[in-house]
Structure 1
């Protein structure tokens, strides 16, 4: 199986440890991962703000770069959600039947990390070790758009040494929503404040999620309150082993 990493542009720019952890984890599980250097943005930032025409070149680039792979894995429910749910509409808007066919062939092979591990590899215990108190926030796109359900929790429950505690009102949005946080800042901060309150109720050391954008929003609010809670991407915890602590 030929597997490609779709790092996503915001991870590549701001949180490179997440795609690095994804590769480390997959290679530990025996997956040979390739990184196509021509990859770029999925186009979500254009589509979400009403610039659908500007997203067309990004969709063309995506299907061109990843066409030859059996699976494309991304550590972002948000970006995978964009590929699956927005790319078909963008292809239609382009008026190019060939592009639409390419998108339809591509999207079933694009996986969010927990989906790939549980559904494609059939693995829930990845051999991770993380001796900390952790709570999990299911991001909106992974929960509602991709419907990953409890796959991230299945993986976290099998991490050795972890103290995994349930997050109250976990299914409530953190308030980030990309440009929503800028256009509706007061509402966004209020929603994020509610999420921070629930995180602190768990007395967790670490908040984990599968999208760094949401973690940045919640983490920023927590840092301003000096909560002492740090944020980590799911890939980083799953990539951790006891060998690193020896």
Structure 2
């Protein structure tokens, strides 16, 4: 009898983009709007390059500061406004793991006891994504058309990493940037000490945490620090500059979009 042959290996079907251009509502975030609009413009470019149509509807805060401070009434009011404005989009995308995490993980919690709003909160949460993870995991972007000369190190912000699983995605796209070399710092996944209202309530503890983070950034030898949350970036940039360090600080979207004409965060 002829020898049995092993069954042919079944290859997974190739991933495909959505059949039509997805309509994306950009949740720009308060800090981007007020402190670093260039991040919002970079996010729009990346999304449009990926084949999305992008709109920026009327919006305010995601409500995270109120939520973390125990002011659930204000958090709910802000969440209701966000749900109403973004319900019409295919996806909601934020250049911030922190704000995306608030919508995706905590909006349903806010309305758990409300039969009217709970379905709306869950529907919005299901289509909300952090920017870089949306590009890689939903739009299947594997490379970008950008150039950045030199070494960078990357900080994994707490909310993006722990609430949304954002870690490999930015590194995947950074690997496609011409001229860029990623150098991992020690304890890249350890908190920078910002934590929104945490830094206000526990200033001494926050400073001790960011001090250790700054040491790891400098020890990496990379002249540029990247991350995906502007709050974390501003906190780390402030510490580095107060210590007289020469490390430049940027949002990862600016580098991926090839939009680095603006001075680094906190510099004139």
Counterpart residue number, 1:76: 96
Find the partner of 1:140 among 158, 162, 166. 158
1:121 aligns with 2:124: no
Distance (whole Å) between structure 2 residues aligned to residue 222 and residue 63 of structure 1: 37
State the shift of 1:241 in Å.
6.9
Q: Is the 8 A contact 1:129 1:241 kept in 2?
A: no
1:103 aligns with 2:121: yes
Counterpart residue number, 1:51: 71
Counterpart residue number, 2:196: 178
Q: Is the 8 A contact 2:42 2:259 kept in 1?
A: no
* Count of matched residue positions in the alignment of Structure 1 and Structure 2: 239
Structure 2 residue matching 1:162: 3-state secondary structure: strand
Structure showing greater Rg: 2
State the shift of 1:132 in Å.
2.0
Q: Is the 8 A contact 1:88 1:104 kept in 2?
A: yes
Q: Is the 8 A contact 2:29 2:96 kept in 1?
A: yes
Q: Deviations over 1:77-126 (max 9, x none)?
A: 0001111121112113xx43121000111111111011111111101201
Query: Cα RMSD (Å) of the superposition?
Result: 1.3
TM-score normalised by the chain length of structure 1:
0.94
State the shift of 1:149 in Å.
2.8
Map of 1:181-220 to 2, 5 A cutoff?
A: 181-220=199-238
Distance (whole Å) between structure 1 residues aligned to residue 86 and residue 117 of structure 2: 13
1:11 aligns with 2:29: no
Q: Is the 8 A contact 1:81 1:146 kept in 2?
A: yes
Distance (whole Å) between structure 1 residues aligned to residue 106 and residue 160 of structure 2: 14
Distance (whole Å) between structure 1 residues aligned to residue 98 and residue 157 of structure 2: 8
In 2 relative to 1, CA 61–5 (structure 1 residues): closer, same or farther, beyond 3 Å? same
Return 27-36 or 80-89, whichever deviates more: 27-36
State the shift of 1:184 in Å.
1.1
Distance (whole Å) between structure 1 residues aligned to residue 202 and residue 237 of structure 2: 18
Q: Which structure has the highest helix share of the two?
A: 1
1:66 aligns with 2:86: yes
Structure 1 residue matching 2:178: 3-state secondary structure: coil
